[in-house]
A and B are shown apart, each in its own frame.
Chain A
Amino acid sequence: MSDTTLDPVTTPPPVDTLTPAQEATARLKELHPNIVSDDTREGYEGLIVYADSITEVAKSLRDELGFNYLSSVTGVDYLEEGKLEVVYHLYNIARGGGPVVLKAQVNRDEPVLPSLTPIFPGADFQEREAFDMYGFNFLGHPDLRRILTWDGFNGHPLRKDWKEPFYEEENKPFGSRWPDGQVFRAEEHNPYGKNVQYPPGWVPTGDEYDVETDVYLGLSYSRDSTPGLKTDKVTVNLGPQHPSTHGVFRMVVTLDGETIVDLKPVMGYLHRNHEQIGERNTFNMNMPYTDRLDYLSSMSNNLGYAITIEKLFDMTVPERAEWIRILMVELTRICNHLWALGFLLNDLGALQTPMLYFYLERELILDFFEATSGARMLCNYMRFGGLAYDLPDEVRGVPTLKFLEELIFNRLPSVLDQGDDLITGNEIVRARAIGVGILTPQDAIAMSTAGPLLRASGVPYDIRRAEPYSYYEHLDFDVAVRYNGDIYDRYLIRIDEMRQSLRILEQVLPHLKRTMGAPIIGDKPQYAMRAPRAGESYGRVENPKGELGYYVTTKRRSGNPERYHVRAPSFINLTALGPMSRGYKIADVVAILGSIDIVLGEVDR
């Protein structure tokens, strides 16, 4: 994709060998000739599957063809055709490469299809989300409730004919704001003066729907049948305001004494309608919104979105821009892991001290981001086909390259060593972390976990190697992997990953020097970009928290995405929280959650 001047390290595969995905697609057509067919719409790929048979196809993909990782499940509304579609992206963990894309289409009025949860437990939350947003009825789903909005919410908000209270027009830019530039406050046009609407004719009765009941009904309550002391189970709510939940996340826990019998995550307390706003926005406008997904790693979110749209628009990225991109996302990874470790140790009882040490170094990185992009945290730095700005001349009064050298060769390695010295061998950390919150590799794959969580369970799957993007195939680094799958390994793997990131950064620095002054964006930057073709695009990057994917569809010459979906790693990683915590003590669940490393902006979007 990039007009690199380097020799490719890996020779491209000869034309006649099929990628694992193509192979599997061809095999599927042989295996299920009447059920699957090619998606022939312009710009689309993958297979259209007869909706009622989706489980059969998924089963043969998993068992016979090695596509055992269901990465993304998303709904799409094709209002004009009267259809709703579920799109599945499956990957082959062992062989890497691109996805097999399955699509199941159902009638808009009666969107019923089987659930994939019996085959891929990782579909659990994603199917609930699709139900919430589109109203799909997944038969056989164990707990099909709303997940991002609340029970009793009116309508399915991502359906194309559903309109929000402050609705103005289908797509931006809105006529009310441009070109006349009038001042327009949506509240003035709403009889309630607020961002609310009620179904026509709805009259409050005073006893509204009890939004809590179903949460508790989903838990296992049964009395203990084992001999000995009979105890009652207690249900405890942790969150949404709780210092250990890293934001507005809530866990409902059933306890037997102090032991966890069942745990259900409850989310949506930070559901900011990212996708719905994204579908009204123009392509460009979504870039700053992606910052706010995983707000600890805005740079890598930018990269994922930029890659997706560059695929859709067939754009190339100049060499210098690619190197700076890698510089930014690897620094982001370090930033994020420092934060995650600070909080994990906080949760383990090392209250704030390690955090304060780590954040000094994190501030240095933020200063660099601020000098480059103008913002410390939410950088909005990447553009389609390149970057917004080149590197600055100086950071904190030091020439940029010197600052980076000092950071990469000196400050960051020493903070890692210091942390390693003080914490890794610490008796308390070891006692609390080793052997707690175990996730087996089989479960990790089945539950679609990603990133450090997956790799700490012994699955060496890293998108930078499995399906390389940008210049990662030219870089020399190892995929960090640990094999015990407990909290301790999830702690260690983050240190490993930071060390690997430093290794990458060391290799990037000479290229930055060499390409000084070269262009950082391919074409002239444009404000109103239009899609050159209709179709879909799925791009994914290895974010610090795991696989971040964007699924975008659009129409030809359209300036807005039709469907804009984010496969959020924190959200899907939470699938494993319940199974991982069962049988441990209530105090451990705090550390287990900390070791997953979630950020609520991404969980709830």
Chain B
Amino acid sequence: MTVANTGAIAGDVSVPDELANNVFITNIAKLLDPVYNWSRRNSIWPVTFGLACCAIEMICTASSRFDLARFGMEVFRATPRQADLMIISGTVTKKMVPTIVRLYNQMPEPRYVLSMGACASGGGPFKEGYNVVDGIDKFLPVDVYVPGCPPTPQALINGLIALQEKIDQQSISTAPWYDKKDPTAGLYPVPVLGPDLVDVRQLDIIRQEATRYTPENPVRAAEAEPTEPPDVEDAPKTVEPQ
């Protein structure tokens, strides 16, 4: 929290000698960032949002023994509009993912996503299931991944500390959420439930594939020719949000 006295910046401002001990020159980001980040990192409010078994460990982390209040994070909010952090605590199913994306869209910036456990990070033990989304990062940007099935409370706290460190690195001057140019920038397209989960960013590929496969030759993981793995991380940027 201490701000170094940078003294006069050469050629910028000149301070008379008699005032040198009374004037303090810095730039706005250096002055505000530590305060801004310090207050944010110690009051991360998660959404009350439990998905599966991992949620139980999340509740344990918040209750008596592990006491998340030590980090200022015990204020679980039932509404996304008051929350800073979404802990994806469990298996994300196809039936649930539209709701999750909608909740995420309702959270005000700055907001973070922590993917807790094997299921949220990549499908985990249930990955092969027909109703399971193989990782929430296919739909939302994830800040911290916590491995485990379920991660122990200690592991979750470690992940939350990693998030705090990430927050420390951010700067008020470059924070994307103050960029007013594109009002839809933070909105992620909500997937639709059709015969299977439809990611609306992929409509073009779906139309294209519809002509390639027939009932005798359906699209199937092991049988289909390996295709170029789609660049999952780029997906949100390249497609127009809804």
Contacts and interface: CB of A to CB of B under 8 A. Distances in A.
Contacts of B210: 198, 200-203
A272 B126 contact: yes
A356 B125 contact: no
Contact of B193 (A195, A208, A271, A357): A208
B103 A154 contact: no
A244 to B, nearest CB: 9
Contact of B229 (A188, A280, A359): A188
B236 to A, nearest CB: 13
Contacts of B227: 188-191
Contact-residue bracket for chain B? 35 or more
A305 to B, nearest CB: 15
Interface string A355-379: 1110110010010000000001110
B224 interface: yes
Contacts of B65: 359-360, 363
A176 B128 CA distance: 14
Contacts of A578: none
Contacts of A289: 125
B183 interface: no
A248 interface: yes
A166 B95 CA distance: 18
Given A152-B194, A247-B55, A163 B220 contact: yes
Given A190-B219, A192-B230, A360-B64, A208 B131 contact: no
Nearest to A271: B131
Contacts of A270: 51-52, 90-91, 93, 96
Contacts of A271: 93, 95, 131
B57 interface: yes
Given A204-B203, A209-B194, A272-B131, A378 B93 contact: no
A166 B214 contact: no
Contact of A273 (B132, B202, B217): B132
B134 interface: yes
A264 interface: no
A272 B91 contact: yes
Nearest to A168: B222
Interface stretch (A30-38, A235-243, A402-410): A235-243
A397 B95 CA distance: 45
Contacts of B220: 163, 165, 167, 197
A186 B57 contact: no
B73 interface: no
Interface string B200-215: 0011011101111111
Contacts of B91: 270, 272
Interface in B105-138: 123, 125-134, 138
A557 interface: no
Nearest to B139: A194
A186 B125 contact: no
Of the listed residues B51, B65, B128, the one surrounded by the most CB atoms of chain A closer than 10 A to its CB is B128
A363 B64 contact: yes
A186 B90 CA distance: 21
A194 B219 contact: no
B60 A195 contact: no
Contact of A203 (B78, B206, B224, B232): B206
Contacts of B196: 153-154, 165, 196-198
Contacts of B133: 194-195
Interface string A367-398: 00000000011100000000000000000000
A186 B128 contact: yes
Contacts of B221: 165-168, 186, 189-190
Nearest to A195: B134
A359 B93 contact: no
B103 to A, nearest CB: 6
B48 interface: yes
A166 B126 CA distance: 11
A602 to B, nearest CB: 11
A268 B114 CA distance: 23
Contacts of A165: 130, 196, 219-221
B168 interface: no
Nearest to A246: B50
Contact of A194 (B90, B194, B199, B213): B199
A187 B229 contact: yes
A318 interface: no
A269 interface: yes
Contacts of B53: 292, 295, 377-378, 601
Contacts of A68: none
B63 interface: yes
B205 A192 contact: yes
B52 A247 contact: yes
Given A191-B224, A276-B129, A269 B230 contact: no
B193 A197 contact: no
30 contacts: A149-B131, A152-B195, A153-B193, A164-B128, A164-B129, A165-B130, A165-B196, A166-B128, A186-B221, A188-B227, A189-B222, A192-B206, A194-B133, A194-B202, A197-B218, A198-B209, A198-B210, A200-B210, A211-B193, A242-B78, A247-B50, A269-B99, A270-B96, A272-B52, A292-B125, A295-B52, A355-B63, A359-B65, A363-B65, A378-B150
Given A189-B224, A196-B196, 18 more contacts: A149-B95, A153-B193, A166-B128, A186-B127, A192-B209, A200-B217, A201-B215, A208-B193, A241-B103, A246-B50, A248-B51, A270-B91, A271-B95, A272-B52, A276-B130, A277-B126, A359-B60, A359-B63
Interface of A: 148-150, 152-154, 157, 163-169, 176, 185-204, 208-209, 211, 240-243, 246-248, 268-273, 276-277, 280, 288-289, 292, 295-296, 352, 355-357, 359-360, 363, 366, 376-378, 600-601, 604
Please give me the 9 A-B residue pairs with the lowest Cβ-Cβ distance, nearest first.
A273-B129, A154-B195, A295-B53, A193-B230, A164-B130, A208-B194, A272-B126, A269-B96, A168-B222
